[in-house]
Amino acid sequence: MANGSISVEFPSDLSKEDVQRLAHGLGLTIPEEDLEDVTARFTALMSELNKLSDIDLSGVDPSPIFPFEGGRQQ
As a whole number of Å, the CA-based R_g of the chain is: 18
**Residue 1's pLDDT band (cuts 50, 70, 90):** very low
Please say if the pLDDT value at position 69 is more than 70.
Answer: no
What confidence score (pLDDT) does residue 43 get?
94
- DSSP output for 32-64: HHHHHHHHHHHHHHHHHHHHHTTS--TT-----
Q: CB within 8 A of 68, min separation 6: which ones? A: 74
pTM for the whole structure: 0.66
- Tens of pLDDT, residues 18-63: 999 999 999 999 999 999 999 999 999 999 998 888 888 888 888 8
Side-chain-facing half-sphere of 46: CA atoms under 13 Å: 15
DSSP code, position 30 = -
